[in-house]
Amino acid sequence: MTKWCIENRSLVFVLSLFVFFFGLATYVTMERQENPDVVAPGATVKTIYPGATPEDIEKFIVKPLEEKIDEITEVDQILSYSLDNVGVIIVRLEDMSDDDINEAWTELHQRVGEADLPEQAWDPEIDTDLIDTYGMLLTLSSPHHEDRQMKEFADDIKDDLERIDGVSVVDINGFTDDEIQVKLDLIRMRNMGITVTDIGTAMKARNVNIPGGNLDLSGLRIPVTITGEYQNAEEVRNTVVGMSDEGNIIYLRDVADVVETMGERETYVAGNGDSALLLSLKYAEGQNIVRVGEDIREYLETKEQELPEGMSLTVVTDQADYVNDAIKTFQRNLMSAVVLVVLAVMASMGAKSALVVSSAIPITVMATFAFMRFTDIILHQVSISSLILCLGLMVANAIVANDSMYLYMSKGMERKEAIIHGIREVRIPILTSTLTTVASFMPLLLMEGVAGKFVRSLPILVTVALLCSFLLSITVIPAMGYTFLTTEDVQKQQKSNGNGKGVLHRIQGRFLKIYRGLLDNALKRPKSAISLAMVILVLSAMVVPTLGLQLFPFVERDQYVIDVILAEGTSLDKTRQAAIEIERILDEEPTIDTFMSKTGDGIPKFYPSFVPHQIATNRSQFIVNGRIDTMDQVHRRLEENIPGARIEVKRLENAVPVGLPVQVRISGEDVDVLRNSANEAKEILRTIEEGHHVQDDYGNEVMKMVVDVEQDKASMVGLSTYDVASTVRMALNGIEVTKIKPKDSEDDIPVVVQIPTEERHRVEVLENIFVTSQITGENIPLQQVASIDNEFSLSRILRRDRDRTITAGLYPRTGVSAAELLDIVEERMEEAGFEVPPGYTLEYGGENEDRAEAFESLIGPFFLAMALIYIILMFQFMDLRQPLIIMGTIPLSFIGVIWGLKVTGYPLGFMALMGTVSLMGIVVNNGIVLLDYINLLVGQGKNVDEAIPEACETRLRPIMIGMITTVIGLVPMALFGGDLWAPLAYAIIFGLVISSMLTTLIIPAAFKVGYNRDRSKTLIGRLFTPKDKTVKE
């Protein structure tokens, strides 16, 4: 192949240009996003049971559903929340393929349908699409415009945005729709004998539009439509709902006030402190969202000029901006790495050799982009990091190929013959080193869980890039070498190097002199050299506990979230007042640019790991765009000025958040026992200075009015519990009975039947309610069939894997990791003698559980990589012992990894460990190149004592150049890759530097031990002797 490529250089260059420009075109148009999707497979099952207490929900809804869901073998975890009127179950599957996930969700629908639920319960709602996120959130705000005015502009903006190519959907939040309220007069209804059922039935029968068939007239088919649809509130007032005993018509206006007004507000949205509407935009799949984002921004700039004075549009968060910033950052890192690598090669090998070697970089990168297009891999920071990671490795193959060509040309061999001979000599070692590196990366595909999904594309793209690099090293590199290198230039360069001219050459000479001295000492006392390396490794391992542990760092962006939780039962208006005070404080903070809040409901999911609040009148949630380094300062100020509220200020996470970072979970049957144990645990947790915000997930008890239906009395008058519950619900919250479809609007107006708002704010409201018997038609006072009492009770019951569980926990303070805090918590709980009653279980958890899962997922790939590397080396050397010499250098790289993390201050996290696993295939490459040449010289009949130093000095140059280029290629990632990628880069940099230096000493020493004169005739000596080769002693 090499000979053909040299003879057909023009064809090779044309094909290379085709690959380059195809990859470039792919890169320009391919889909972009900031991160891969990392959310674990999960689903929610939500079931509404009107009028049920948390205890009823648990007994009649949650337990039957849990029993059926647990029959699905792929289910990993079941969490359930029993609340008033509703039960929510969160199902988490084991890690599996997408096809298996879809099958599991199909079975979930089947199992849920088999559950035996009360007839009055609504059908369960199953949501299996929990990873869908909004790409852009923007607020339309004004300090003095009404919501109705802003809604008109928001509707126009929504329509215009949805017309932009690349926009999927736009939703509007924060607006209260108009509705027609039918405010019932219960006393007059009782006197006139009109029931709620009568009113609902009459209104539904009146508001219809039914096709009446077709009429054939003179050969014409004319459709007939019967319509009586409401057009306005006046027609609703005039609805006939009954007839009096005297025969008079009773209209709805006789027993109720009918008004068209804004519905009861359920949420508040504010932007930068002003009343606002929230527009949430989703980007279409398969689009370059950076380009789409630019089109949207251009439209918004134009639209803002058309808005009335005082009304403004503010982009709170935009995925396109973050994707663009992330991609540009990694592009700069990639380009910087390419430039640094080229300069390093140029300085060490000369300009022409640098041109030959560097030609592999753009072709390999663009070929990888082309592969991404055909395999639907999206461009994000992981995929670009894959290219940066293997940049030095791409060049390493080309360096070895070029160096071999260079060696034979410097000996005076004819150029074509030298290139063919040089490539033939190193193609197997290059292939072996490529395969060993691939063998260290590909097992990463076996990683499970969130971490495995996050880095899934990295081993694939590294493998593709390295295989392309190998192919180029035996095709394009020799063709480029034949074109640009001449024997005369090489010999002249060799002569210049021999004269020691230039600073670089003098440095190389001094380094070689030092190396020769160290090598001589290692060969004189090989066992001592090996033992010293082992001692250094053991001492370095003792440093590991001081590094700290962390799964993934936080997302690096100047944006954070504020969660505000008031006491259970707090009204929406009171929670909004607390939010207004928070907005005032945020507005005064100079380090904050923009912010928005949503009270009564969570902010739409705008980041894969973001968890929105559930609907609750006592909760408010903020997005703040401001400097992260002042986040703690803002948090302290909020806590000092907002009494009675639990305020959590949190950064976005790269992994799925686990709630409380440090958890103490107590499981059992009796809620009172659980609460007492949790309170005892919290008292202990409050004594820990390294943590703060001690809390549990059950919350405080709230006062409730309990309507206890006396079943015997209710049955005697023909009432069921459902009749009572639905009537009470109508009285307190209202019931939508029908809709009006106005001719001048696309929005339907709901018609809601309820009692007047002012009456709902009085305790006596329940005493005036009467319930209509569906059997007798009589109106029965509520107090006749039920007792009304006040009591304090839990607002929720939580279960974990089918057991009632209460979770107490806390957050680590700044400078303390969750892992360190967990150790402190376990120690402090043990010192305090904390125990749970018999029959109850205690477990500790939090971030450590996902971290343990992620770290454990690296164990399999680690041993698989070791096995693959050994098998590849065994076939390379056709020997059992020599691969062990090379693999013995892998632990030496751990010395560099440990001290690299220690010096740079990064914890031992998933990315650092992944870098360590990846490093195995890289460090053995040096051993392959070195040991292969030693075997070659020995096979040629050279004395072992002569062959080892000669091979070491000859291969030192490509080994050092390969190491330097790999390290230099990773420097931009280390310096600018942030907390996520820097640990991986530093792990490889320090590990490779240390292992490269030790490899050039330890491998010769280990080889010398095997070939020791006194043991050359032993079994070990024979095993170390390559087949059909005689060692000259």
Q: Tokens for 605, please give them.
A: 């999911």
Q: Are 400 and 929 in contact (CB under 8 A)?
A: yes
> Which of these, 290, 443, 302, lies nearest to 379 by C-alpha position?
290
One DSSP character per residue, 445-485 reads GG--HHHHHHTTHHHHHHHHHHHHHHHHHTTHHHHHHHHH-
pLDDT at position 1030, please?
43
Specify the higher pLDDT residue, 60 or 491. 60
Using DSSP's 3-state secondary structure scheme, residue 540 falls into helix
Local confidence band at 1015 (pLDDT 50, 70, 90 cut-offs): very low
Residue percentage of the chain with pLDDT more than 70: 91
Give the contacts of 235 (CB within 8 A, at least 6 positions apart): none
**Half-sphere exposure in the Cβ direction for 97 (13 Å, CA):** 4
Q: Tell me the C-alpha distance between 266 and 275, whole Å.
A: 14
pLDDT at position 1033, please?
40
Q: Which residue has the tokens 């010769």?
A: 1004
Does pLDDT of 1013 surpass 50?
A: no
Q: Tell me the C-alpha distance between 396 and 402, whole Å.
A: 10
> Kind and range of the H or E element at 704?
strand 702-709
Q: Tell me the C-alpha distance between 751 and 1, whole Å.
A: 80
Give the contacts of 177 (CB within 8 A, at least 6 positions apart): 262, 263, 747, 749, 750
What Å distances lie between residue 155 and 152, 172, 182, 354, 745, CA to CA? Answer: 5, 8, 28, 59, 12
Using DSSP's 3-state secondary structure scheme, residue 133 falls into coil
Specify the higher pLDDT residue, 788 or 369. 369
Strand-strand pairing, 549-550 and 908-909: parallel
One DSSP character per residue, 64-105 reads HHHHHHTT-TTEEEEEEEEETTEEEEEEEEPS--HHHHHHHH
Estimate the share of the chain in helix, then strand, then coil, as percent rounded to the nearest 5.
55, 20, 25
Q: Which residue has the tokens 């337990």?
A: 63
Q: Tell me the C-alpha distance between 53 and 59, whole Å.
A: 10
> Which of these, 535, 533, 537, lies nearest to 1006 by C-alpha position?
533
Q: Are 471 and 396 in contact (CB under 8 A)?
A: no
**Half-sphere exposure in the Cβ direction for 720 (13 Å, CA):** 9
Give the contacts of 414 (CB within 8 A, at least 6 positions apart): 487
Highest mean pLDDT among 154-158, 376-380, 936-940: 154-158
Q: Tell me the C-alpha distance between 273 and 278, whole Å.
A: 13
Using DSSP's 3-state secondary structure scheme, residue 689 falls into coil
The mean pLDDT value of the chain amounts to 83
The pLDDT of 267-289, averaged and rounded, is 90
Give the contacts of 1017 (CB within 8 A, at least 6 positions apart): none
Q: Give the pLDDT confidence of 306-320 residue by residue, as tens digits.
A: 999 889 999 999 988
The pLDDT of 1015-1025, averaged and rounded, is 44
Give the contacts of 24 (CB within 8 A, at least 6 positions apart): 366, 369
pTM of the model: 0.77
Q: Are 48 and 121 in contact (CB under 8 A)?
A: yes
Q: Tell me the C-alpha distance between 83 and 57, whole Å.
A: 7
Q: Which residue has the tokens 């070895």?
A: 400
> Which of these, 736, 700, 705, lies nearest to 567 by C-alpha position?
700
Q: Are 283 and 135 in contact (CB under 8 A)?
A: yes
Neighbour tally for 684: CB within 10 Å: 18
**Rounded CA Rg of the chain:** 37
Number of residues assigned to the chain: 1033
Does pLDDT of 1027 surpass 50?
A: no
Give the contacts of 163 (CB within 8 A, at least 6 positions apart): none
The pLDDT of 747-776, averaged and rounded, is 75
Q: Tell me the C-alpha distance between 888 and 999, whole Å.
A: 9
Strand-strand pairing, 75-83 and 796-800: antiparallel
Does pLDDT of 500 surpass 60?
A: no
Torsion, Cα 300 302 303 307, to 10 degrees, reads 130
The pLDDT of 406-427, averaged and rounded, is 83
Least confident of 8-22, 585-599, 723-737, 758-772: 758-772
Q: Are 162 and 170 in contact (CB under 8 A)?
A: yes
pLDDT at position 1029, please?
45
Full set of structural domains in the chain with CATH:
1-30+350-484 (1.20.1640.10), 42-127 (3.30.70.1430), 178-212+245-263+702-793 (3.30.2090.10), 513-542+858-1033 (1.20.1640.10)
Give the contacts of 74 (CB within 8 A, at least 6 positions apart): 93, 94, 96, 100, 104
Specify the higher pLDDT residue, 513 or 279. 279
pLDDT at position 218, please?
67
Least confident of 138-152, 759-773, 835-849: 759-773
Task: For residue 77, give the DSSP letter.
Answer: E
pLDDT at position 1020, please?
40
**Half-sphere exposure in the Cβ direction for 241 (13 Å, CA):** 26
Using DSSP's 3-state secondary structure scheme, residue 841 falls into strand
What Å distances lie between residue 430 and 500, 507, 904, CA to CA? Answer: 30, 28, 33
Sequence letter at residue 77: Q
Q: Tell me the C-alpha distance between 304 and 56, whole Å.
A: 52
> Which of these, 364, 450, 907, lies nearest to 655 by C-alpha position?
450
pLDDT at position 585, please?
94
Helix 457-473 to helix 360-374 angle (10° resolution) is 140
Q: Tell me the C-alpha distance between 1024 and 1011, whole Å.
A: 7
Strand-strand pairing, 841-846 and 662-667: antiparallel
Q: Give the pLDDT confidence of 907-918 residue by residue, as tens digits.
A: 888 788 888 877
Show the CA angle centred on residue 364, arms to residues 358 and 365, nearest 5°: 100
Residue percentage of the chain with pLDDT more than 90: 23
Using DSSP's 3-state secondary structure scheme, residue 399 falls into helix
**Burial of 406 per CB tally in 10 Å (0-12, 13-18, 19+):** buried
pLDDT at position 637, please?
92
Q: DSSP strand E in 292-412: where?
A: 312-318
Q: Are 48 and 62 in contact (CB under 8 A)?
A: no
Q: Tell me the C-alpha distance between 528 and 526, whole Å.
A: 5
The pLDDT of 760-768, averaged and rounded, is 68
The pLDDT of 920-936, averaged and rounded, is 81
One DSSP character per residue, 147-199 reads HHHHHHHHHHHHHHHHTSTTEEEEEEESPPPEEEEEEE-HHHHHHHT--HHHH
Strand-strand pairing, 749-754 and 178-184: parallel
What Å distances lie between residue 203 and 187, 253, 738, 918, 973, CA to CA? Answer: 20, 12, 7, 71, 68
pLDDT at position 1005, please?
86
Specify the higher pLDDT residue, 33 or 260. 260
Specify the higher pLDDT residue, 771 or 687. 687
pLDDT at position 15, please?
92
Q: Tokens for 548, please give them.
A: 């700290």
Neighbour tally for 328: CB within 10 Å: 11
Local confidence band at 501 (pLDDT 50, 70, 90 cut-offs): low
Q: Which residue has the tokens 């590199």?
A: 477
Using DSSP's 3-state secondary structure scheme, residue 577 falls into helix
Sequence letter at residue 612: P
The pLDDT of 258-272, averaged and rounded, is 86
Q: Evaluate the CA torsion angle 380, 382, 387, 388 in order and state its sign.
A: positive
Helix 360-374 to helix 381-389 angle (10° resolution) is 150
pLDDT at position 408, please?
80
The pLDDT of 855-869, averaged and rounded, is 82
Local confidence band at 65 (pLDDT 50, 70, 90 cut-offs): very high
The pLDDT of 460-477, averaged and rounded, is 90
The pLDDT of 440-447, averaged and rounded, is 82
Does pLDDT of 949 surpass 90?
A: no
Does pLDDT of 365 surpass 80?
A: yes
The pLDDT of 252-277, averaged and rounded, is 88
Sequence letter at residue 389: L
Q: Measured in Å, how far apart are the chain's first and last C-alpha atoms? A: 38
Local confidence band at 1012 (pLDDT 50, 70, 90 cut-offs): low
Q: Tokens for 899, please give them.
A: 């001290």
Does pLDDT of 230 surpass 90?
A: no
